[in-house]
Copies of this chain bind each other. A is one copy, B any other.
Amino acid sequence: MQAPSPTACLIVIGNEILSGRTQDTNVVWLAKALNDTGIRLAEVRIIPDVTQTIVETVDACRSEFTYVFTTGGIGPTHDDITSDAIAKAFGVPLARNQEAETLLQRHYGQGKLNAARLKMAEIPAGASLVLNPVSAAPGFRIENVFVLAGVPSIMQAMFEGLRHELKGGAKMLSKTLSAFITEGVIAERLAAIQEQCPDVEIGSYPFMRQHRLGTSLVVRGTDEATLNAAHRRIKELLLGLTQEVAEEDWAA
The reply to whether B184 and A220 form a contact with Cβ atoms under 8 Å apart is no
> Residues of B contacting A45 with CB < 8 Å?
43-46
The reply to whether A75 and B206 form a contact with Cβ atoms under 8 Å apart is yes
Copies of this chain in the oligomer: 2
How many Å from the CB of A51 to the closest CB on chain B?
14
Residues 65-120 (chain A) with a chain B CB within 8 angstroms: 75-80, 108, 114-117, 119
How many Å from the CB of A31 to the closest CB on chain B?
3
Judge whether A21 is part of the interface by a CB distance below 8 angstroms. yes
Our pick among B53, B204, B207 for the contact of A77 (Cβ within 8 Å) is B204
The reply to whether A114 and B20 form a contact with Cβ atoms under 8 Å apart is no
Our pick among B30, B41, B47, B188 for the contact of A114 (Cβ within 8 Å) is B188
The reply to whether A75 and B23 form a contact with Cβ atoms under 8 Å apart is no
Chain A 1-32 interface 0/1 with B at a Cβ cutoff of 8 Å (1 = within): 00000000000100111111111110111111
- In the assembled complex, the Cα of A223 lies from the Cα of B92 at a distance in Å of 39
Interchain Cβ contacts under 8 Å between A and B, 27 examples: A12-B44, A15-B203, A16-B205, A16-B218, A19-B35, A19-B218, A19-B220, A20-B27, A20-B29, A20-B30, A21-B176, A27-B46, A43-B46, A75-B183, A75-B204, A76-B183, A77-B190, A78-B204, A79-B194, A79-B202, A80-B204, A114-B187, A116-B183, A150-B206, A151-B252, A152-B252, A153-B252
- Give residues in A with beta carbon < 8 Å to B: 12, 15-25, 27-32, 35, 40-49, 53, 75-80, 108, 114-117, 119, 134-135, 150-154, 172, 174, 176, 183-184, 186-188, 190-191, 194, 201-208, 213, 218, 220, 249, 251-252
